[in-house]
Structure 1
Amino acid sequence: MLVVRIVELQGNNFAFGLQQSEEIIHTHLIKQHGFLKNLSAHSNVKKAKALLQVHSPNILEELGGLAKGLDMELGTIIRLYSGYDVDFPTMGCTAYINNDYYVRNYDFSPELYDARLVFSNPINGYASVGFSQQVIGRLDGMNEKGLVVGLHFVNNEHKGEGFLATTIVRILLEQCCSIKEAIELISTIPHGFCYNYSITDLSGEGVVVEATPEKQVVHFNNPLICTNHFEAEVLQRKNREDVQGSIKRKEYLGSILTEKISPITAYQHFNDGNSPLFFKYYKEYFGTLHTVVYLPKELSVIIGVGENCKPIKLSLRKYLDGTNNLPKVIKGRINQKV
């Protein structure tokens, strides 16, 4: 059984950090400290702090709240949670964007998964809903302006000194109201690894930003399919040696999405445990943990945890209006493939 907690954050970012420090202490997140220490052993804290002051003072303030609540040095918290100059295992993700919605599977290990869906409404930034990673980061999400962003791992061998994609997704959601703003901002942030970022907004347009530490290439398409490899000729040498699985997922999606299908039908294609888009290699860091459909025009989200999960629909708009009764958790079933 996989249990995803629903977290609500409102107010200033220091308060976000304090609230989440309590969550870390009392949940499985505290067990991740040893793992995070190993991954961030060589991180340049001074440089990370200086870059956050430029690119996201909100995140720096939130890290201050975490430090206070956990009774730890700010430098240690920046090293563990900022996502700057940090190693990270491989992961997989598949996304599809059309005029009406953005649907995606996130594939990784439950042991390193935050298992948190966060509704946040900061004083200085756009409100959003999204799945967290390393507490302050986001795997995917949608903000109050209808901007949706998700990450897709490509390669961790071509590394630079920069931020994890999870931190970058969080920055984009909090600061950008459109594809145009997201493309402009993402080009100014130092990237640590090779990732694709799939993005849409109220326009229904789809865009993939293929990003390496040295260069970003932008592709527009509608509809748009994004998996875990670069397609730009100038970046293909940055791909992993074997990208056939990523290519096959993209080809499969292209074959079934020849006709207009509803968000629920798309959800079912992604969440079906027997689908070529759904994976069960959890011990190998490649098992599907959540399926999510973001609906920018109505600011709602359809969610399933694990496989063949009855979808749950939640509203960011109602959350902001104070009329949404959010559940405490979403539960689902995962089965390791033998």
Structure 2
Amino acid sequence: MPNTNNEAVLTFQAVAEATAGERWRALFDYHWPAYQRWFLSDGIEARQTYLAGLRAMQQYMPELVPTYERLVQLAGGGDLAARFLSYYCPPPYLSGCSQAVWQGNEPLLVRNYDYPPTLSDGVILGSHWNRRNVLGMTDGLFGLVDGMNEDGLAVSLTFGGRTIVGDGFGVPIIIRYLLEFCRNTAEAEKALKRIPCHMAYNVTVVDRKGLHFTAYLSPDRKAVITDSPVATNHQKEVEWHRHARATATVERERYLLQRLTLHKEPADRFIGAFQRPPLYSTAYDRGFGTLYTAAYWSARGEVEYRWPGQVWRHKVSAPDESVRHIRYPLGTISA
């Protein structure tokens, strides 16, 4: 991504490749140097071995193992890439994010992804790896930070506002697993209760029938499943107060709950609220500026990615394979 003194430019590209092949390999090769530096930021001794990652995947996500092995092969078959792609006990990472299920006449999950522009893949990947179409925004070219499958199951994540780190998977690979193998919220709930997550994250899920939940995941306690349609950056109560103040997590949660309960507004107006304060953040230099707004229409099988003045529409079965160059101002403070 090119940078100037006062802005960063992130290129988003949509790629459709039913079976992972040369296009996926090219994307991985392009992003791998940066991911390798991040993965080794604490030294190789801090990372789990290849066998530890493989065995954990075999235990908790066995259906995903053939896909994992294929991607490792495409990535060159090296030990380091194999460790990275297992997502088992990766380095800690934080995001901001707000997400909510619209309480209207059809299922709709809306989310803002707040993250450093320099660390995002910027890849919307359409795939058919395990007998169903999946479309979503990638992390590490294997995991997903949000997405939807052909059954209408839509999932997104927010950081959970706790400093605890433990044994488990990075949440993007958990989201990938849900969208590859779950048809509805009931199946997603069962999976989230048994797959360990290495940090605190909130996962909001909605299906084609409009059934929804938010799961609070942490490595030191069992997953908590709630009926909340909203998630920001804390779990029930604020535990990391400094982070909460910096990201206005409580204020954003209250704002969304008020809109859902007090405003019976059209979907487009609700989506538009995500592109204004307090939900929309310009704190890019502090690592939690809003990179995009995503709207997942579960019953339609359609997805919109939005920026101020721009809407990019896709079908889960047929992504719009083009690019968008988005400019983000640096050195600004969130409103």
Do these two structures clear the TM 0.5 threshold for a shared fold by scoring above it?
yes
In the TM superposition, what is the alpha-carbon distance from 1:17 to its structure 2 partner?
A: 5.7
TM-score where L is the length of structure 1: 0.86
Matches within 5 A, 1:238-257: 239-242=239-242, 243-244=244-245, 245-257=248-260
* Aligned: 1:334 with 2:318: no
Partner in structure 2 of residue 38 of structure 1: 41
Question: Which runs of structure 2 are paired with 1:89-128 in the superposition (5 Å)?
Answer: 89-99=93-103, 100=106, 101-122=108-129, 124-128=130-134
- Counterpart Cα distance in 2 of 1:276 and 1:253: 10
Match of 1:196 in 2: 202
Q: Does the 8 Å CA contact 2:56/2:88 hold for their aligned counterparts?
A: no
Contact persistence 1:147–1:296 (CA under 8 A): yes
Q: What is the 5 A alignment of 1:213-228?
A: 213=219, 214-221=221-228, 224-228=229-233
User: C-alpha separation between the residues in 2 aligned to 1:188 and 1:68?
Assistant: 28
Distance in 2, matches of 1:261 and 1:330, equals 29
Q: Which residue matches 2:173?
A: 167
Task: Please state if 1:52 is matched with 2:57.
Answer: yes
Alignment of 1:153-302 (within 5 A): 153-155=159-161, 157-213=163-219, 214-221=221-228, 224-231=229-236, 236=237, 239-242=239-242, 243-244=244-245, 245-257=248-260, 258-272=262-276, 275-302=277-304
Q: What is the CA–CA distance in structure 2 between the aligned matches of 1:216 and 1:210, rounded to whole Å? A: 6
Letter of the 1:53 partner, please give it: Q
Work out whether residues 160 and 216 of structure 2, in 8 Å CA contact, stay in contact via their aligned partners in 1: no
Q: Percent identical across equivalent pairs?
A: 24
Q: In structure 2, what is the equivalent of residue 7 of structure 1?
A: 15
The letter of the residue matching 1:149 is V
Deviation at 1:40, TM superposition (A): 7.5
What is the CA–CA distance in structure 2 between the aligned matches of 1:219 and 1:229, rounded to whole Å? 13
1:19 is aligned to: 23
- 1:18 deviation in Å? 4.9
- Number of residue pairs aligned between Structure 1 and Structure 2: 314
Q: Is the 8 A contact 1:7 1:117 kept in 2?
A: yes
Query: Pick from 77, 83, 86: which aligns with 1:79?
Result: 83
Q: Output the aligned Cα RMSD.
A: 2.1
Shift of 1:86: 1.0
**Unaligned stretches of 5+ in structure 2?**
1-8
Superposed displacement of residue 58, structure 1 = 5.7
The offset of 1:216, in angstroms, is 1.0
Q: 1:70 to 1:195 in 2, by over 3 A?
A: closer
Shift of residue 135, structure 1, vs aligned partner: 1.0
Name stretches of at least 5 consecutive residues in structure 1 with no aligned partner. none
- RCO (CA 8 Å, sep 6+): is it higher in 1 or 2? 2
CA distance in structure 2 between the partners assigned to 1:116 and 1:212 by the alignment: 27
Amino acid at match of 1:332: I
Q: Distance in 1 between matches of 2:162 and 2:51?
A: 23
Distance in 2 (alpha carbons) for counterparts of 1:36 and 1:20: 20
Q: 1:39 & 1:142 partners in 2: Cα distance?
A: 33
Given the alignment of the two structures, is residue 316 of structure 1 paired with residue 316 of structure 2, yes or no? Answer: yes
Offset of residue 82 of structure 1 = 2.0
